Amino acid sequence: MAHSNSQPERISDAEHAVMEVLWTKSPLTASEVCERVCGERDWSLATVKTLLSRLVAKNALATKPDGKRFLYSPAIARSDYVGTESRRLVDRLFGGRAAPLFAHLAQSESLTNQDIAEIEALLQELKQ
C-alpha cells in the first residue's frame, strides 16, 4: 500500500519531544523551545536547533524569519501525525490488519472496560 508523499519522514523520539512543545504552543523561537524541553532532557540550545532544522527538512515544521531569529510552527497536525504513526505500527507489527492488534491487546489484558466501550463505540461509527 503506497502512502502519499505529503506524509513527513519518520520522526525520532527526540524530534517528537520538540513537536509536542510546538503543538502545545506556537510559533516559538529555538530559545523558547529550549526553555520548555532542555531542562528535562538535559539538552543544549544547539541540540534543539539541530532537531528543529531536521524537522524543517522533513516538512514537519514551518519557519518564518522574525528579525535575526526564526519562529517555528508545526506544518502537520498532531492528529495527522498520530494517525500516520498508528498506521505504521499496525503495518509493521500486525501486517496492516487491525484485528490481530485488538486480539493481542485483549489477550494481554491491557484493555479496561472503558477501553472496550470506547472501541465498541468506534466500531459502531465505522459500520455506519
pLDDT tens figures, 38-54? 999 999 999 999 999 99
Which CATH number applies to 78-127? 1.10.4040.10
CATH 1.10.4040.10 intervals, the chain: 78-127
Cα angle 43-85-35, degrees, rounded to a multiple of 5: 20
Quickly count: other Cβ atoms within 10 Å of residue 23's Cβ: 16
Domain 13-74 has CATH 2.60.40.420: no
Which segments in the chain show pLDDT lower than 70? Answer: 1-8, 128
CATH 1.10.10.10 intervals, the chain: 13-74
Cell digits for 98?
487491525
